[in-house]
Amino acid sequence: MKLTKHTSLEESEDVQDTLRWKLDSIQAGGLPIEEGLADYIGLAVGNIEARQAYIKNAIKELRNEVNRLAGQITSIKQGAATFLIEQGIERLNGVYVSSITVTGEKTKETPAGDKTTYHVVATKEEVKDVLLAMGMAEMRTTPTDPETITTPATIRVNKRRIAIPDVVEAGEG
């Protein structure tokens, strides 16, 4: 964040009052009024824009980190499920978590069939009902292909319903 020079205008609730104060300060200092006010207002706007850009970038970075962490959670759950399935284990009981349960791979199939869709034959500004009533649009039936969606096996972490006091790291006394 590039902050060139902080101004009172950036935090002011009464912009006009703050500008009157700045005008009086400029006049009392014998400085050029036009340049002084222009720079003061410009610096305030520029500083706020710089803070906005900084915050937007921070939000973007946080979203990326949230997405990365979500991906890591998915990777852990799927990897653990594969490992546990290979070991012939369906459930593990824990101390800090109630249990780990393997959920099997799920497959959802969508059968082939027809799908009815709406196709506009006139401009987009027209409303669907008006277009149909005027004969400027028509309903069409479009065939659809079968679709298979496979969700990889994963695990579910069941948290303890009671708090465990004094969690101790492994290897500590």
Structural domain boundaries of the chain? 8-83, 90-159
- pLDDT values of the chain reduced to their tens digit, one per residue, 173 residues: 555 688 888 999 998 999 999 999 999 999 898 888 888 888 888 889 899 999 999 999 999 999 999 999 999 999 999 999 999 999 999 988 899 999 988 888 888 888 888 776 656 666 778 878 888 788 888 888 888 988 888 767 666 677 666 544 555 54
Rounded alpha-carbon distances, angstroms, from residue 76 to 70, 71, 80, 83, 91: 10, 9, 6, 10, 16
This prediction's pTM: 0.55
Radius of gyration of the chain (CA): 32
CA distance linking residue 100 with residue 153, whole number of Å = 13
**Confidence at residue 101, expressed as pLDDT on a 0 to 100 scale:** 94
Q: How far apart are CA 163 and CA 123, in angstroms?
A: 62
Residue 171 burial (C-beta neighbours within 10 Å; 0-12, 13-18, 19+): exposed
CA dihedral of residues 38, 39, 44, 49 (deg, nearest 10): 100
Asked if residue 21 lies in contact with residue 8, where contact means CB atoms within 8 angstroms, the answer is yes
CA distance 135 to 130: 8
Give dist(CA 6, CA 1) in Å, integer: 13
User: What integer pLDDT is reported at residue 167 of this predicted model?
Assistant: 47
